[in-house]
């Protein structure tokens, strides 16, 4: 029996200049972008969007896809070319 929990995707996240802003599932990136704008983050670029894992790590959409597939959170084709919250919840 493993004592280390399997890493899973648990929320949407934005990463900018060392700061991570996140919201738990079932939030969407557009929900988080609204919060970021209210906090003065300004425009949020695609490369800054990703996910938060159960281990508290920010990961890119591409890295999140690998984690989600390994955890059984995604089993089929993605809606688009990269993982979105709609693919997960």
> Is the pLDDT confidence value at 10 over 90?
yes
pLDDT tens figures, 65-76: 999 999 999 999
pLDDT for the residue 44: 80
pLDDT for the residue 46: 76
- Tens of pLDDT along 11-37? 999 999 899 999 999 999 999 999 999
The DSSP code sequence of the chain is --SSPPP-EEEEEEEETTEEEEEETT--HHHHHHHHHHTT-----GGGEEEEETTS-EEEHHHHHHHHHHTTS--S--SSSS--HHHH-
């Amino acid at each position: 029996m493993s004592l280390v929990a399997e890493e899973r995707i648990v929320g949407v996240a934005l990463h900018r200049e060392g700061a991570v802003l996140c919201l738990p599932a079932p939030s969407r990136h557009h929900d988080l972008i609204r919060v970021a704008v209210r906090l003065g983050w300004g425009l949020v670029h695609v490369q800054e969007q990703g996910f938060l894992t159960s281990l508290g790590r920010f990961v890119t959409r591409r890295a999140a896809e690998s984690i989600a597939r390994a955890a059984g959170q995604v089993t089929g084709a993605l809606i688009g070319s990269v993982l979105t919250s709609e693919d997960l919840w």
